[in-house]
Amino acid sequence: MGPPRKRDVRRNYNDLGGELYDIRYGEEQNRKYDVAFFLILPRGDGLLLDDGCGTGMLLSRLSSPAVGLDLSPSLLRTARERLSLGHYLILGDAEYLPLRNDIFEGVYAITLIQNIPDKAATILEMKRVTRIGGKFLFTAIKALFDEAFVCNILDRMSFSNISFLGDAGTNDWITYAEK
């Protein structure tokens, strides 16, 4: 089985739709978001990125300014309905973030990496848009990735203060790092 194709990923999530996405994945995603909030708490006006934001479940928990990016127009429509002012949505590709360098205090990449053909390029893009000292939280589905992949990919990208958290009671491996 080769890497996922973006058009297939977009079609699958568009076909699933926002309401069914939330029903199917909501409980598991919310467990991961609980861990994410423990590790990356927004500071007042610090801008955050939710890369692969889906229906905006994580963004809806944020009171600070945030940007959500996703490949699926259908999921972004659902996100738009649930979000408040100060949250911005971008239809875009995680491998080629349409964002300036060094602008985010924190980047969340939760349950994203399995949908990306070039995982290293995607992580480098997230690093590019994160400020020096910014925080990064990355998850990878245990059924598709082993611990070695998760532990090594951020190290190869020259992140600092890398912490492998195991699964924290979720179906994903969770890793935290700083730029």
The residues spanned by each domain of the chain are: 6-178
Query: What tokens does 141 get?
Result: 């589905």
pLDDT at 59: 92
State the pLDDT at residue 130.
95
Kindly give the pairing relationship between strand 130-141 and strand 160-164: unpaired
Q: For domain 6-178, give its CATH number from 1.10.760.10, 3.40.50.300, 3.40.50.150, 3.90.1150.10.
A: 3.40.50.150
Burial of 148 (0-12, 13-18, 19+ CB in 10 A): exposed
Question: What pLDDT sits at residue 169?
Answer: 86
pTM of the model: 0.89
Average pLDDT per block of 10 residues along the chain, 179 residues long: 83 82 86 80 78 94 90 95 87 97 94 93 96 92 91 86 88 91
Cα–Cα distance measured from residue 93 to residue 116, given in angstroms and rounded to the nearest whole number? 9
Nearest Cα neighbor of 120 from 91, 92, 147, 155 is 155
